Structure formats: C-alpha cells, structure tokens
Amino acid sequence: MQKKPTYNLETFVNEDFVKIVITGEVTKDDIYELTNEVSEIVKLNNTKKLLCDIRAVKGRLGYTDTYLYITNLSSVFYNINIVFVDIPENAKLQSFLQSVARQTGINVKWCTDPDDAISWLKSLSS
C-alpha cells in the first residue's frame, strides 16, 4: 500500500513564468514523487521559468540528501531557470542547494521575498 503524500501543490501560470506553491510536509520519501509532479507541470506548460514557493513546507532534506537529490534531477530542470522562495531560517541549506545546482548546470536562485524572485525571473531572457 502506497503512502499518500502529505504535501499539496498549487500551480499558477502566467505569460512570464509558472509559480508552484508547495505546502504541507515533504519527507525524504516524498521528494522524488514531488519532483516528478513539478517536472510534469514544467513540461505541460512548456515553461523556461519556474518559481517554487516553499515557505509553508514543513521539513527539509539534510545536506547529504540535498546533494544526492540535486545531482540526480531530471534533465528537464537543466533547461529552465528556477527560483525558490523560502524562509530566512533555511538560508544555509538553500545556499548549499543553490551552489550544488549551479555546479551541476542548473540555474537556481534562492530568495526570501517573492517580489525579488519575480523580478529575477522577469530579468532573464526567455
């Protein structure tokens, strides 16, 4: 029997980017299913710019799991610009995630202000 995820995704699409708001609890076991859902949203909308608002997510991966997760992402994430909006308390982990992602060729930015995230995405050419 498969465990039902304890997170929720809300998707908002506009002409500039796709915004996904993730709420609830994301566990190590859920992260790959969640990533597959996000990947499908990216493909379905043919977007090159993605904003993920994770401020309301309970739980984070540790450094080792974050590294393994980022280095095994689907190729769809190598062709888009991604910005995460998160709470300041997660700055160290998000800085690590951003660094690992960029080393693997994924363009990722981390912000605490949604307006900064949107400005960054809009500043990028399509």
**Domain boundaries defined on the chain:** 7-123
Per-residue pLDDT of 92-105, as tens digits, reads 888 888 899 999 99
Q: Look at the pTM and tell me if it is higher than 0.75.
A: yes
Place of tokens 């660094």: 99
Residue 126: its pLDDT value, please?
A: 60
32 strand-pairing partners: none
d(CA 125, CA 14): 16
* From the candidate CATH numbers 1.10.287.1260, 3.40.50.2300, 3.20.20.100, 3.30.750.24, the one assigned to the domain spanning 7-123: 3.30.750.24
Pairing state between β 107-111 and 18-25: unpaired
Task: Please state, in angstroms and rounded to a whole number, the distance separating the CA atoms of residues 100 and 70.
Answer: 7
Task: Pick the closest to residue 106 from 48, 33, 65, 61 (CA basis).
Answer: 48
pLDDT of residue 3: 66
